[in-house]
Amino acid sequence: MVSTDCLIIGGGLAGTAVSFALSRHGLRSVIIDKIGIAAEGSGNPAGLAVADSGRSAEVDPRDTRGFEVLSDVIGLHQRGGYLAGAVYGDVVQFPVTPRLAERCLVGAVSATHLSQLTAARCLSDGLVCRGITVDPSDLCRAHVFCSGAGVVIGEVVSLSLRNGKWRALNRHGEILGEAPVVCIANGAAAMAIPLTGWLKLERVRGQVVIVRASVKGLPEIPVCFDGYVLPIPAGGHLIGADYDHISVDTRVHPGISSALIRRMNKWLEVSIPSEAIRSGRVAFRTSTHDRLPYVGAVPDYWDFRARVDSALKARRPVAACEALLGDLSYLPNCFVSVGHGSRGLLSAHYAAELLTPKILAVCGTGRDDAQPADTMLEPRRLMVRMMRDLRRARS
């Protein structure tokens, strides 16, 4: 059994980003993963990190936060040279919407200019914004290397608190690790751990396809719209990705690969033959009811349920329920970072930065000043929703 400052369950982008962020403040961590580092969602050979697209940009009122996080990711590369294979550059996005352009501090450009930039035939005007292509598994390994975190291979099925320390247990009841603080970062599998089993998380299947370098006319810089095409360092392009909320099939389907290629052919007016497919990969994203990750301290669900049940029987149930939220109890020193959906390359780093002062505070080496994003991202927001649903169901 290993002992450390913080146990991290899950060795994907979310978990390894926490280990890296903690190490910058002198805290040690051990990552426990059932398969290995970047084995699941974070294992694609390339991913697109765009500071300004999607709801992740909305979590911080300053709006420029995504750019800062992106700079940190680039900084990690520059410090260690770990992402040697990364392709840096601008990202082209279609189509232009005034809202996006305004929010994202990006430049709108003409189709002709875009065609020159990308070396592909672009049919409509677009945006050029700051972004990079990264190998997510390289990034996870860089986090582990730079943080000096220990890695234990094992499947955590439960967590228990003994004498002020969290113990991670496997299905045989063996202790895989022990620490005063625990951070649950195992994607949708957090629902299988009793303490976080109440979180609403959905697995969304995604398939990507890699085409050979010989295909002519594909862009030299990352392009995204309805899917994306990324030049990859090993040569060739990664074309992604599809979304399937229903399927749990882990096999690569040739039919889906062909559909991804067809979409790209139509969209960029290129002609990628099906023989150009080199390989494909299937992985699962973890999505939440409002498409924002759950980041923060884990509320004590069973205490909440018992109290909400009695509040609903009170003479003034609405007031009694509302009072509950102001007085929510939390599991001691237990945190979570899951539900990063399709934007883990940036949101996992941002989540790690939000969690770090909280973890430092419980370790007695720092102060936790509340951040504006806390209330938007904490799992507590689900309690509010659950309470409303229960009240509605009982009335």
Ligand X SMILES: Cc1cc2nc3c(=O)[nH]c(=O)nc-3n(C[C@H](O)[C@H](O)[C@H](O)COP(=O)(O)OP(=O)(O)OC[C@H]3O[C@@H](n4cnc5c(N)ncnc54)[C@H](O)[C@@H]3O)c2cc1C
Confirm or reject binding of residue 285 to ligand X (CB under 6 A).
yes
Name the nearest CA neighbour of 57 among 288, 343, 371: 343
Tokens 């590369």, residue?
77
Residue choice 342, 353, 355, 378 for contact with ligand X (CB under 6 A): 342
Binding mask 310-339 for ligand X (x = CB under 6 A): ----------------------------x-
**Strand 294-299 to strand 330-338: parallel, antiparallel, or no bridges (unpaired)?**
antiparallel
Task: Name the 3-class secondary structure at 82.
Answer: coil
Shortest gap between Cβ of 31 and ligand X (angstroms)? Answer: 9
Instruction: Specify the pairing of strand 126-134 against strand 107-109.
Output: antiparallel
Phi then psi for 138, rounded to 5 degrees? -60, -40
3-state helix, strand, coil in the chain (%, to 5): 40, 25, 35
Alpha-helical segments (H) within 215-300: 254-268
Residue 62 Cβ vs ligand X, minimum distance, rounded to whole Å: 20
Comparison of 180 and 293: residue with beta carbon closer to ligand X: 293
* Position among 256, 345, 354, 382 found at the interface with ligand X (CB under 6 A): 345
* Residue 169 binding ligand X, by CB under 6 A: no
DSSP strand E in 163-276: where?
Answer: 165-169, 175-179, 181-184, 202-211, 223-225, 227-231, 237-240
Least distance from ligand X to the Cβ atom of residue 390, Å = 28
What type of residue sits at position 304? F
Task: Please give the full DSSP string across 121-171, using - where no structure is assigned.
Answer: ---S-EEEEEEEEE-HHHHHHHHHHHHT-EEEE----EEEEETTEEEEE-T
Asked if 147 is part of the footprint of ligand X (rule: CB under 6 A), the reply reads no
Q: Which is nearer to ligand X, 168 or 387 (CB)?
A: 168
- Is residue 297 within 8 A of residue 383, CB to CB? The reply is no
- Shortest distance in whole angstroms from residue 110 CB to ligand X: 26
283 binds ligand X (CB under 6 A): yes
Q: Is 8 in the site for ligand X (CB under 6 A)?
A: no
Q: Find the binder of ligand X among 6, 8, 9, 336 (CB under 6 A).
A: 9
Q: Under the criterion CB under 6 A, does residue 343 sit at the interface with ligand X?
A: yes
Is 12 or 231 the residue whose CB approaches ligand X more closely? 12
Closest among 332, 331, 328, 377 to 352, alpha carbons compared: 377
Site string for ligand X, 191-220 (x = CB under 6 A): ---------------x-x------------
Q: Which stretch binds ligand X (CB under 6 A): 20-28, 35-43, 321-329, 368-376?
A: 35-43
CB of 37 to ligand X, least distance (A): 7
Q: Which two tokens stand for residue 163?
A: 């004498």
Q: Is 35 in the site for ligand X (CB under 6 A)?
A: yes
Provide φ and ψ at 364, rounded to 5°.
80, 20
155 binds ligand X (CB under 6 A): yes
360 binds ligand X (CB under 6 A): no
Q: Does 187 bind ligand X (CB under 6 A)?
A: yes
Q: Could you say which of 5, 8, 12, 19 contacts ligand X (CB under 6 A)?
A: 12
Q: In which residue are the tokens 């004590």 written?
A: 300
Q: Name the site residues for ligand X (rule: CB under 6 A).
A: 9-15, 32-35, 39-42, 44, 47-49, 136, 155-156, 185-187, 189, 206, 208, 240-241, 283-286, 338, 340-346, 348
